[in-house]
A = this chain, B = another copy of it.
Amino acid sequence: MSSDIILNATIMGVGMHLGAWRHRSQSPSDYLNLDYYREVAQLAEAGRLHALFLADTLAVSEENYERPNLGAMDPTAVLGALAAVTSRLGLVATASTTFNEPFNLARRIASLDHLSRGRAAWNIVTTFIPDVAANFGKDPLLPHAERYAKAEEFVDTVIALWESWEEGALVGDKASGLFADRNRVHAVNHDGRFFSVRGPSTLPRSPQGRPILYQAGSSEEGRALAARVADVIFTVQNTLSSAIAFRKDIRERAVREGRSPDSIKVLPGLVPVIGGTERESQQRKAELDELAGEAELRKLASRVGIPVRELALDKPLPFDRIKANDKFNASRGFQAAAMQLGASEGLTVREILYRNGGGHPQVVGTPEQVADFIESWHRAGAADGFNLMIDELPSGLRTFVEEVVPLLQQRGTFQRDYRANTLRENLGLGNPDDTVRSQERRSANYA
């Protein structure tokens, strides 16, 4: 592949690893502090990473009492602050299509795009955590297919709002007093199964034409949504072969949607645990695992959808029990990845736990080994780049930026500087669809 590798840094609490808050030297309440987010963001920008990605969860589940909650802080507030202290870094806010209103969310992300001068993205999630539903009423979580039906409609409505002002509709002619050209601002008049939104947006077109869309979710419905509208898909792919097949599938789906296959970027998660030597990296990993204790086991049980007591450390995953659970309503991507890892290499539960609990692929090694992994997946067509799930922040990101990034730059596969000011351009994406054509196509779905 000729294009540069894309790299994002993900913030989950004070690091992806459940032991991170105990292992790091800084305050356990850093995940509430602007100074912490500023340090991480400025590190990512110093390393020329394309974007900072904020995960989100709208509830504090039982396991979250054991560590800084990954979704404790509102992403818009945090990324608004980071817009003021960075200038090139993309800012990706996760937000749920199940527990937001399209009008509010569209305005929030477009505001971030204006404030950051074209660096905002929305990471579309549908939310699979029952604890979240309880914070928004008495109804249980919608079933998977319904969640995605609602997500499709939500996203179309948001895009229509983002495109409701034509380019140039804000005239701003002080002499004549013409502020906006009313004829170039269009109601959305969305009237669908889940939402009714008249519009238009309160905001003119944003600097990127419209903000970037990430989609996180690798189920059939998630892939379909991503192939239709997303600029980036964030996925969990545990093996090179599954990642190659996944990316091929997404690109083919995009083509079937009338898009260029290069208009959608596939970013698997990657957990780098870096040390100056292999031994040092293994030491870091062992320390983190020791501090996480049994939390990793509970996380794996929740991920595959069975009680903790049905997992035995020195046995394989109970595949039959997992498959028999027809009430499973959580992330299918994470469940599939964990099972595939366990099956393909015949791993015990203990071995799966060591391998990041069957979640995102993990490289425990030297900067060279991490750089090699990234390049090999990129070269093989398994990834356009990675969402880096840093083990512990900011230390893991600092090492990545200081040790891995220069290697990739020397090898000519990662940018030495930002190409442009907007995330859209930095990701190598073209302009979004022409306003009118895009609006017409979408509104046809709800006629």
Contact = CB atoms under 8 A, between A and B. Distances in A.
Interface of A: 21-22, 27-29, 32-34, 37-38, 57-60, 64-69, 71-74, 76-85, 99-101, 103-104, 107-108, 111-112, 114-117, 131, 134-138, 170, 172, 174, 177, 179-180, 182, 185, 191, 195-204, 291, 293
Contacts of A79: 77, 80
A284 to B, nearest CB: 16
A138 B107 CA distance: 20
A117 B35 CA distance: 11
A193 to B, nearest CB: 13
B115 A179 contact: no
A197 B115 CA distance: 32
B28 A108 contact: no
Given A76-B77, A80-B79, A80-B81, A135 B203 contact: no
Contact of A78 (B115, B200, B204): B115
A28 to B, nearest CB: 3
Number of copies: 2
A118 to B, nearest CB: 11
Contact of A202 (B37, B71, B100): B71
B135 A21 contact: no
Contacts of A191: 138
Contact of A170 (B29, B78, B108, B136): B29
B179 A138 contact: no
25 contacts: A22-B177, A29-B170, A32-B114, A32-B115, A57-B202, A58-B107, A58-B202, A59-B202, A65-B180, A67-B179, A73-B111, A77-B77, A77-B111, A78-B111, A78-B115, A81-B81, A81-B83, A81-B115, A82-B84, A84-B84, A134-B197, A135-B197, A135-B198, A135-B199, A137-B195
A439 B151 CA distance: 35
B204 A29 contact: yes
Contacts of A134: 197-198
Given A21-B179, A77-B76, A80-B77, A172 B115 contact: no
A65 B77 CA distance: 28
